[in-house]
A and B are shown apart, each in its own frame.
Chain A
């Protein structure tokens, strides 16, 4: 059975999306992306610093990848829209991950401003992937506004605390028609696996992979974790219970009646 995620008119095989920040070099990043056979990567936009290295990150991202610019740095919807338009003008397609953050301590997204930006950008033909706090009403409004997926956080960006928002994300999974993609805070392959088991359509990981001693190996581990979780989700796992359910026959054996 071919299990592909259809998003923004594209068929995506690997449900592990990878962010490109914080890698020690573009060369290491390239090897991590290649080794884990990633299909979707995120990038950011920044002012060009003439004095810094003039290497172009796009040349180090495998050709087959869908590039999703994020709007990091945006503090309101206007800035997010401005960044998204700049990204599209750079000629890397029309996908955008909307990220509107004013809170510097927890980097939690502003769902209201994110919604405003989503409305505008979806009308302009962008494939909009909004980073959000897992709130059902906000998610519904984002979908009405034209979001192609919703990206609730697992835990704060870069915190490696795992799938802390599970209860709320599970509600989104059961109620929201577009793919739910957990973004941020997944520090271990087990957390990514857990998201997929719970029914997420994909996960986005950056910090954990980028700052590992061996990012290439951890990228592969995440990719395997995501695959395992996805298979488990599709398998129709049975539920859990407090008491035991024997897995061997309980008929007497070698015992006197």
Chain B
């Protein structure tokens, strides 16, 4: 969680979707628009070219405080001083997680693609720092999509940040945010936009405004506004705070602190009071 935050806008960069603009130009505009993570995913480039682009992107991202991830190849990630590597399901056959971790060390980020609940669950048990889940919507990049039905289950059981990906654009991103998704990855919606910088900042604004998260209150999952204060959760529910005790992530929290405690994704809240009993 420390290496890869929540509520991030993640751009997967492929020059082929950039309407003829070079990768570096797309990246520069997207970074200035406020993306949080940039992944270099240039399937058509030769290795030497990749390393050169990787070094330039790495510098650009470092200066802007953007996380830089290299697709597919841990060695290139290391070479260009990226923050981490992203492995697809196929890549994992060539570079297994343990080997990649040994090569990169514990400070670097390892992310993986998952395309089913089963793959997600496997990844959730592995030594990775985030999990991409999709394609959620139909997309030209893939010839299938897995739909939205597992979003809640994924968010509920995730022990690391989940990045939703696949066909996400300005028309459908709200629905995802409403359901508790915090991290959004896009390709075309930014790279193919006329105004790349404007598209990135529009996404960013939506993420910031519509941010929702999943919390478990008295054993039931609820979607609430991100960073909601504990005291506000109570008043939303019309619960009178007197003689209520609150346990937040298994820790009893004193009444005076309720107005200061912000809820996080997947937090567990128990609101308890006295009733008759023998």
Q: In the complex the two chains form, what is the Cα distance from A207 to B237 in whole Å?
A: 32
Contact, CB under 8 Å: A43 / B240: no
Contact, CB under 8 Å: A85 / B275: no
Contact, CB under 8 Å: A48 / B277: no
Q: A50-B238, A50-B239, A89-B252 are in contact. Are A43 and B245 (CB under 8 A)?
A: no
A216 to chain B, nearest CB (A): 16
Residues of chain B within 8 A of A50, CB atoms compared: 237-239
Contact, CB under 8 Å: A58 / B276: no
Q: A50-B238, A90-B245 are in contact. Are A43 and B274 (CB under 8 A)?
A: yes
Total contacts A-B at CB 8 Å? 99
Contact, CB under 8 Å: A45 / B273: yes
Q: Is A10 an interface residue (CB 8 A)?
A: no
Residues of chain A within 8 A of B273, CB atoms compared: 45-46, 48, 56, 90
Residues of chain A within 8 A of B278, CB atoms compared: 19-22, 42, 44, 70, 72, 157-158, 183-184, 204, 206-207
Contact, CB under 8 Å: B240 / A54: yes
Residue in contact with A57 in the complex, picked from B239, B250, B276, CB distance below 8 Å: B276
**Majority SS of interface residues in chain A?**
mixed
Contact, CB under 8 Å: B237 / A90: no
Residues of chain B within 8 A of A46, CB atoms compared: 272-273, 275
Q: In the complex the two chains form, what is the Cα distance from A224 to B52 in whole Å?
A: 93
- Write the B245-278 contact mask toward A (1 if CB under 8 angstroms, else 0): 1010010101000000000000000111111111
Q: Is B157 an interface residue (CB 8 A)?
A: no
Q: A54-B238, A58-B243 are in contact. Are A86 and B274 (CB under 8 A)?
A: no
Q: Is A47 an interface residue (CB 8 A)?
A: yes
Contact, CB under 8 Å: A20 / B242: no
Q: A47-B270, A50-B238 are in contact. Are A57 and B245 (CB under 8 A)?
A: no
- Write the B120-164 contact mask toward A (1 if CB under 8 angstroms, else 0): 000000000000000000000000000000000000000000000
Identity of the chain B residue whose Cβ is nearest the Cβ of A59 in the assembled complex:
B243
Residue in contact with B252 in the complex, picked from A26, A85, A157, CB distance below 8 Å: A85
Contact, CB under 8 Å: A92 / B276: no
Q: In the complex the two chains form, what is the Cα distance from A19 to B277 in whole Å?
A: 6
Contact, CB under 8 Å: A22 / B276: yes
Q: Is A69 an interface residue (CB 8 A)?
A: yes
Q: In the complex the two chains form, what is the Cα distance from A48 to B270 in whole Å?
A: 8
A93 to chain B, nearest CB (A): 12
Residue in contact with A44 in the complex, picked from B218, B243, B250, B275, CB distance below 8 Å: B275
Identity of the chain B residue whose Cβ is nearest the Cβ of A61 in the assembled complex:
B274
Q: A50-B237, A86-B252 are in contact. Are A44 and B277 (CB under 8 A)?
A: yes
Q: Is A29 an interface residue (CB 8 A)?
A: yes
B270 to chain A, nearest CB (A): 7
Contact, CB under 8 Å: A20 / B276: yes
Which 9 pairs, one residue from A and one from B, show the smallest C-beta to C-beta distance? A44-B277, A19-B278, A206-B278, A20-B276, A47-B218, A50-B237, A21-B276, A48-B271, A89-B252
A-B contact pairs, 22 of them (CB 8 A): A20-B277, A21-B276, A21-B277, A22-B276, A26-B276, A43-B277, A47-B219, A48-B271, A54-B238, A54-B239, A56-B273, A58-B274, A70-B277, A70-B278, A72-B278, A82-B250, A86-B247, A86-B272, A87-B245, A89-B252, A206-B277, A210-B276
